[in-house]
Chain A
């Protein structure tokens, strides 16, 4: 009986949490189908009275939103791949080898997460401008990689720790080099972990505003978040369009997550916790 009540409470609680979680999404989607006027109505309407695709048409056809979308995708995917690959190399190095300064280096890598972005963005821009990488995809991918890499390294190290060392040894005995062993044996085994870091880095790069704001110029390099914050201009705040843009902008991370959520959960946990 006691258990039953416990379960009942759990259901009730989860229903409430669900409401809390879903409400903003519902509000976003519903608003995106309203007219400007209806969005500003006092009192507000919940269901769109005259559902219209006007906001989506405006955002997708009359702004450069599709281009922003493409930019976000390229930059986020690039970041995800680079930081996952480099991170897995480092994770392997830290997991399998003992060398002097190892603990210090791990500490340092973790400590780079403490540097506030506002501190770095100005000087970083100067550096990119000198290298001619300003307003390019590589420039942004490098910047985001520096943010995601510490956690990716850490997560993947956790993953590799769970792989028995005998696997490497067997590969080495078969005549593989260390790098060969890493590619042939380790990578396939930690693939789920790599998927997790890919998602993680992708989400982070997709959601950033500050770096993109400073490191890009012009319409052709802007990303979804930047495009949205430009839609909130000084001049007109059109909620249906903003929400339509938000729906479109939130789709890739949400879809990516929905399809790969099992990996993400596993990966985040492996990175954080010893098995």
Chain B
């Protein structure tokens, strides 16, 4: 499709196009635009103030707030490792499912199941599984003789975040897997057969056929996953509430606390604006890629 030549009148075709997308745009920009404008304005208003004057103090404060930096760091750690693990596990499961095995239909259904469970419920289940004394995970370790200790999965500063990530992988990899599996199934079998005739090892096949042909799917899956992981809230909220200490305090949770627990609306808004900007910057290449393709 090519770009329409510059004109000053609106053609009939364009009008029709606008008419079709208008309901969607109206909904999005009315529903999101107003709250966003308020939030941005809020972020430039002094803390706890009745009068609305312009100030940058919230942003200055933010730069000096070590808990904000901590939350940012943990967010990157959380998003980075979950997205990576979703990809690795998702790809591995997709490849395994794509091998000619029996019951792959059934296995695929099983593999996607966790993705359908609400965050609140996943959080609850895992929280109880991780329970040091009455949870199944420690019990399994005890029974298999691996350890005799009550490991405090969610209470240990070094273990809490990995534990949360472990349960997020359970919940999140199926989405990536679905997309990659579809991509794999679209690769013609002849490619592999030809490679095999040439004596390629499975690893080489994977490296020189699978990965290049999947590249586009991988980018899309990773981009969407990244966006969603930045927004994730319910799981951590239900599992640790950010603890122990601030070991699992991702930014969306810290913002929530500043807004609804400490009532620092203006400060919380400033942080949320920063989070939105970070997400925009990170996802810009993805958005541009998508837009360029249309």
Contacts and interface: CB of A to CB of B under 8 A. Distances in A.
Asked if the two chains touch in their complex, CB atoms less than 8 Å apart, one says yes
A208 B120 CA distance: 8
B101 interface: yes
A18 to B, nearest CB: 5
Contact of B96 (A13, A39, A242): A13
A103 interface: yes
A22 B124 CA distance: 15
Interface in A11-36: 11, 13-14, 17-18, 20-25, 27-28, 31
Interface residues of chain B: helix, strand, loop or mixed (majority): helix
A266 B174 CA distance: 14
B24 A89 contact: yes
Interface residues of chain A: helix, strand, loop or mixed (majority): helix
A21 B114 contact: yes
Contacts of B216: 273-274
A110 B287 contact: yes
Given A21-B113, A118-B259, A145-B31, A14 B133 contact: no
B255 A118 contact: yes
B135 interface: yes
B170 interface: yes
* Chain B contact patch, size range: 35 or more
Interface of B: 1, 3-4, 10, 13-14, 16-21, 23-25, 27-28, 31-32, 34-36, 38-39, 42, 89, 92-93, 95-97, 99-101, 107-114, 116-122, 124-126, 128-129, 133-136, 139, 142, 170, 175, 178-179, 181-183, 202, 216-217, 220-221, 224, 227, 230-231, 233-234, 237-238, 252, 255-256, 259, 265, 268-269, 272-273, 275-276, 279-280, 283, 287-288, 290-294
Contact of A24 (B89, B101, B126): B126
Contacts of A94: 17, 20-21, 294
Contact of B291 (A18, A106, A124, A257): A106
Given A93-B21, A117-B233, A98 B114 contact: no
Given A90-B23, A99-B17, A123-B38, A118 B233 contact: yes
Contact of A93 (B17, B125, B233, B293): B17
Interface stretch (A54-62, A63-71, A187-195, A247-255): A247-255
A73 interface: no
A237 to B, nearest CB: 9
Interface residues of A, number: 105
